[in-house]
Amino acid sequence: MFENIRLSFKGIWSHKMRSFLTMLGIIIGIAAIIAIVSTIKGTNEQIKENLIGSGQNTVSIQLYQGDYPYDMSYSELPAGVPVIGQEELEEIRQADRVKNASVYLSRQDYDGVYYLENSLSGGYVMGIDQNYLATCGYILREGRGFDTSDYENYHKVALLDENSSEALFQGEDAVGKTIEIQGEPYLVVGIIVAQKTFEPVINSIDDYYTYAEDSSGKVYIPDTTWPIIYQYDEPQNLIVKVESTDDMTVVGKECAGILNDHLSVSDDTIQYKAEDLLEQAKQIQELSASTNTMLIWIAGISLLVGGIGVMNIMLVSVTERTQEIGLKKAIGARKGKILAQFLTEAAVLTSFGGLIGVAVGIALAEIIAKVSETPVAISAPAAVGAVLFSMVIGILFGMLPSYKAANLDPIEALRHE
C-alpha cells in the first residue's frame, strides 16, 4: 500500500501540469461545496443567534390565553392561576438540563415611568426575584444590586438597563436619583448590563419588531413591591437557564408542563407556554433548505466532470505504461496488485485535489463573507467528508482504467509500442 502511494506521488510529480488539470474539476467542485456549506451554516447560526440572542440559553415561560400572552394591562386577575410557589420553583430547578430558574412580573408601561419631564414611553417594568439577574446573565455596571433587606422591607428601589437610563436621564448619572413609577417614587440604586453583548442583524421590519422589546428599555424593581404600583397575586412569568441552546425547546415545554399541573382554571385556553425561539429558528432555516440542497447538487456536477477527467487521464496513463504493466505481469505480478496500484493512484490524485479544494473553499467562503457581509462558519465534518468523497470518486472513476490495466495480456503488453 505505502509503495503504491509513493509511486502515485511520483507519477503525479512527474506530470505536474497534467495532474493539476486533471484535479481541477475536483478542486472546483469541492471548493464550491465547502463555500456553500460554510455560508449555509453561518447563515443558520446567525438566524439562531438573531432569535435567541447572545447565547444566554434562557427560555421565557409565560401565561397565555389562546395564542397570545395573558395581558394584565387589559385583563382581570385570572381565577385558578396561583402564584408560583417555592415548591414548584425548586421542582423546576431540579429538572434535567436546568441550570437556574427565576420568577418575574412584567408590564409594558407607556406613560407611567418618569424622571422630571422625561418618560420611558413603551418601556417595561419588571418585578424580579433575587435570582433573576444571575439567571439572565446580567451584571452591575454602576451602583449596587438588590439585597435581602430590599425584599423583606419592601424598599422602593430600582435598577435600570442602559436604554432606560439613557431615555430617562439622557447622559446624566442615574444612580442616586429618584424616578416615578405610576406616581410612586423609586430610588435608582444601580445600572445593569448583559454579561454578553449582542447586536442582532436587522434586515426587515419584522426583525425590528422582534428586537423592539429589548431596545425600548427596562426598569427592574423587587417583586415584593410590585403590588404597590400594580396588583396583588398577578400571574408570574418564569425564566429558565438551560445547559445548551439545543435543550431550550424540550426544557421549556417540560417546565411549562410543571406549572400547568398546578392550574385549576375553567378556561382551558389559559395555560403556560414556553417561548420557543429555537423552533422558530429551525422553521426559518428549513425554508431555505430546498434551495441550499439544489446549490450543493449543482456544485456536485463539477465533481462528476472531475471524475470523468480522472477516468480519462487514467486511461491515458494505462496506455503510456502498457509495457511497464506487461513487465510486471511477466515477473509474477497478479491482477490484484496491478488493480490496487492504479486505484491507489486515482484515489491519491483525487484526494490531493480534494485537499486543495477544501483550502480554496475556505478561502472562497472568507472572501464571500467580507464582500457580501454574509456570515460563514467553517464545518470541519464537511471538510473531512469532502476529502473522503473525492477519494471515493477517484476509486469509482479509476475502476475502469484499473480493470483494463489488470487484464492486459502480458505478451501483447510487452510488444506494445
The reported pLDDT for the residue numbered 250 is: 84
The reported pLDDT for the residue numbered 190 is: 94
The reported pLDDT for the residue numbered 244 is: 78
Q: Which three cell numbers stand for residue 356?
A: 486543495
Q: Is the pLDDT of residue 150 over 90?
A: yes
Q: Is the pLDDT of residue 321 over 60?
A: yes
pLDDT digits (tens, 9 = 90+) for 342-364: 778 778 888 888 888 888 888 88
The closest alpha carbon to 5, from 344, 312, 370, 293, belongs to 344
Q: Is the pLDDT of residue 205 over 50?
A: no
pLDDT band at 127 (very low <50, low <70, confident <90, very high): very high
pLDDT digits (tens, 9 = 90+) for 161-174: 999 999 899 889 99
Cα(150)–Cα(225) distance, integer angstroms: 9
The reported pLDDT for the residue numbered 212 is: 41
314 neighbors 403 (Cβ within 8 angstroms): no
Lowest mean per-residue pLDDT among 44-48, 199-203, 300-304, 393-397: 199-203
Q: Is the pLDDT of residue 123 over 70?
A: yes
Q: Which three cell numbers stand for residue 205?
A: 421590519
Please compute the mean of the pLDDT values over residues 376-405 and round it to a whole number. 77
User: What is the pTM (predicted TM-score) of this model?
Assistant: 0.59
pLDDT band at 203 (very low <50, low <70, confident <90, very high): very low
The reported pLDDT for the residue numbered 51 is: 55
pLDDT digits (tens, 9 = 90+) for 262-274: 888 877 788 888 8
179 neighbors 186 (Cβ within 8 angstroms): yes
Share of the chain above pLDDT 90, in %: 18
Determine how many CB atoms are found less than 10 A away from the CB of residue 152. Answer: 10
**Domain coordinates of the chain in residue numbers?**
2-49+287-415, 58-242
Cα(257)–Cα(234) distance, integer angstroms: 19
Q: What is the mean pLDDT of the chain?
A: 78
Please compute the mean of the pLDDT values over residues 396-408 and round it to a whole number. 73
Three-state secondary structure readout of the chain:
CHHHHHHHHHHHHHCHHHHHHHHHHHHHHHHHHHHHHHHHHHHHHHHHHHHHCCCCCEEEEEEEECCEECCCCCCCCCCCCCCCCHHHHHHHHCCCCEEEEEEEEEEEECCCEEECCEECCCEEEEEECCCHHHHHCEEEEEECCCCHHHHHCCCCEEEEEHHHHHHHHCCCCCCCCEEEECCEEEEEEEEEEECCCCCCCCCCHHHHHHHHHHHCCEEEEEHHHHHHHCCCCCCCEEEEEECCHHHHHHHHHHHHHHHHCCCCCCCCCEEEEECCHHHHHHHHHHHCHHHHHHHHHHHHHHHHHHHHHHHHHHHHHHHHCHHHHHHHHHCCCCHHHHHHHHHHHHHHHHHHHHHHHHHHHHHHHHHHHHHHCCCCCCCHHHHHHHHHHHHHHHHHHHHHHHHHHHCCCHHHHHHCC
pLDDT digits (tens, 9 = 90+) for 252-299: 888 888 888 888 887 778 888 887 654 555 555 555 566 667 767 776
Tell me phi and psi for residue 79, to 5 degrees: -75, 140
The closest alpha carbon to 343, from 314, 306, 370, belongs to 314
In order of 56, 154, 231, the CA distances from 121 in angstroms are 27, 26, 21
Cα(31)–Cα(38) distance, integer angstroms: 10
Residue scoring higher pLDDT (415 or 74): 74
Tell me phi and psi for residue 378, to 5 degrees: -70, 130
Residue at 121: amino acid letter = S
pLDDT digits (tens, 9 = 90+) for 206-242: 443 444 445 578 999 999 999 999 888 888 899 999 8
Residue scoring higher pLDDT (154 or 42): 154
> Residues, the chain, total?
417
pLDDT digits (tens, 9 = 90+) for 66-115: 878 887 777 778 888 888 888 888 889 888 888 889 999 988 877 789 99
Please compute the mean of the pLDDT values over residues 35-55 and round it to a whole number. 66
